[in-house]
């Protein structure tokens, strides 16, 4: 147990060591560590859990390795559409945005929705209009372009074409680059919990698809009575399982501890639906949980008296 701390994820999926170069693995580890350090410094200085999770997520949004902000995947039409959410465990207030384009840091916009409007979720044109009214930083399309994500879109379209031609299933069917997310949960010295999640969505998606990340109780949830949770994986399944709230409910109504509740939410409920992914969580006593049912999940935690701990592959 710890009196404060932070836990993060940078996405879950088919992350295999034999497909990862040493240099790329090092870059991911450094990106996770930078995010952890940024959030931890706020907490160690007496800052709020809300500020800590926002900062940790913002650091990953600015890193092109992760599927959020600058590193967001492309839709079928070659656009970047982003979602984000943040929640305060003390007040149960939350803010979220969905389907926004060209916003440099969607997590900052979600925080503004929470603090500057009576609403919880703003989407697309309305969210962007609100962002401009509040001086949020926008970036041109070129800022969000990364060759890695563009090639992933091409691969995804090729697989789609092969499927339509009734070809064999492709190996990248459930790869980590098809869908990914970043997220953070934290406990501050005042005993308050917070959660934040941001994503570039699912590669090659159509029809204005929105996933679980900006939906409170699904991809993001925080309640001082129980825990803070951020999820990552195939969003349609997390929506059906209401996974983030499920962890909290299992603790509050069944009396399970954090480890039991998080494990049950992923390995019993989500898995039984056929869903893949994971979550990170922290409770009001500073206990943490990082379960996932995929070959890997970019993840890390930083607790007092320790150092930033990061991981990529399944144990």
Of 181, 199, 220, 294, the active-site residue reads: 181
- HSE-up of 130 (CA within 13 Å, CB side)? 26
Q: How many CB atoms lie within 10 A of CB 253?
A: 9
Residue 114: left if φ>0, alpha if ψ -120 to 50, beta else—which one?
alpha
Displacement of CA 261 from its chain's centroid (Å): 19
Q: Is 181 a catalytic residue?
A: yes
CA distance 219 to 234: 11
Q: What does the DSSP assignment read for 89-136?
A: TTT--EEEEEEE-SBS-HHHHHHHHHHHSS-SEEEHHHHHHHHHHTT-
Beta pairing, strands 288-289 & 277-283: antiparallel
Contact predicate 183/198, CB 8 Å: yes
| 122, 161 Cβ separation under 8 angstroms | no
Q: Annotated active-site positions, please?
A: 181
């Amino acid at each position: 147990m710890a009196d404060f701390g932070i836990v993060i994820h940078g996405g879950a999926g088919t992350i295999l060591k034999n497909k990862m170069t040493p240099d790329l693995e090092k870059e991911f580890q450094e990106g996770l560590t930078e995010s952890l350090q940024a959030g931890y410094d706020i907490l160690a200085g007496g800052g709020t859990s809300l500020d800590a999770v926002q900062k940790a997520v913002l650091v990953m949004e600015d890193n092109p390795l992760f599927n959020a902000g600058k590193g967001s995947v492309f839709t079928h039409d070659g656009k970047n559409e982003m979602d984000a959410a943040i929640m305060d465990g003390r007040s149960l207030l939350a803010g979220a945005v969905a389907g926004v384009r060209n916003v440099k840091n969607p997590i900052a916009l979600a925080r503004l929705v929470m603090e500057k409007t009576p609403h919880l979720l703003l989407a697309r044109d309305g969210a962007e209009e609100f962002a401009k009214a509040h001086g949020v930083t926008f970036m041109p399309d070129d800022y969000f372009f990364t060759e890695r994500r563009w090639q992933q879109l091409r691969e995804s379209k090729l697989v789609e074409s092969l499927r339509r031609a009734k070809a064999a299933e492709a190996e990248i069917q459930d790869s980590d680059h098809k869908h990914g997310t970043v997220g953070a949960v934290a406990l501050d010295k005042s005993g308050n919990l917070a959660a934040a999640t941001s994503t570039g969505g699912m590669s090659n998606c159509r029809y204005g698809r929105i996933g679980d990340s900006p939906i409170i109780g699904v991809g993001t949830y925080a309640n001082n009575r129980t825990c803070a949770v951020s999820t990552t994986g195939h969003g349609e399944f997390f929506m059906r399982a209401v996974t983030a709230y499920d962890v909290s409910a299992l603790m509050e109504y069944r009396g399970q501890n954090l480890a039991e509740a998080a494990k049950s939410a992923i390995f019993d409920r989500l898995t039984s639906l056929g869903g893949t992914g994971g979550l990170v969580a922290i409770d009001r006593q500073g206990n943490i949980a990082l379960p996932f049912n995929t070959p890997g999940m970019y993840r890390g935690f930083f607790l007092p008296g320790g150092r930033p701990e990061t991981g990529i592959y399944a144990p």
